[in-house]
Amino acid sequence: MSTQNQQKIMVEVAYALPHQQLIIPVHMPLEANAEEAIQASGILDKFPEIDLKVNQIGIFGKLTKFDMPLRNLDRVEIYRPLIADPKEVRKQRAAEGKAMKKGGRDAPPED
């Protein structure tokens, strides 16, 4: 192994759309952070909708900060903004479920 390769780590930068996923391998210096890997990957040119002021990032599914130092074989993931708040969706489903039970034939009559 050459001295130059010993001074670098290999990481992946990932971004997924509903019907497309892109994972870009990048060789980075040992002291590189997540934001530097994103910039080096060129993914921002491929997906101009990514706004690092808006999109959150993570490493292997755990939210992280842009200045997080990377380790060899880390995968930096860029997350899309949520379309709907999961808590609100659950509340809505629960409310709909209660409404359906009330109108069911087995429900006790209301006084």
Arithmetic mean of pLDDT, 10-36: 96
- Looking at the domain assignment, is residue 52 inside a domain? yes
The pTM score is: 0.70
Q: What is the CATH number of the domain that holds 97?
A: 3.10.20.280
Residue-range definition of the domain harbouring residue 34: 3-101
| Tens digits of residue pLDDT in 50-85 | 999 999 999 999 999 999 999 999 999 999 987 666
Residue 111: inside a domain: no
Residue 108 lies in a domain: no
Cβ neighbors of 58 (< 8 A, separation 6 or more) are 64, 76, 77, 79
> Residue 110: inside a domain, yes or no?
no
Within-domain flag for 109: no
Give a yes or no: residue 46 inside a domain. yes
Is 71 in contact with 9 (CB distance < 8 Å)? yes
Per the prediction, the chain carries an average pLDDT of 85
Q: How many domains does the chain have?
A: 1
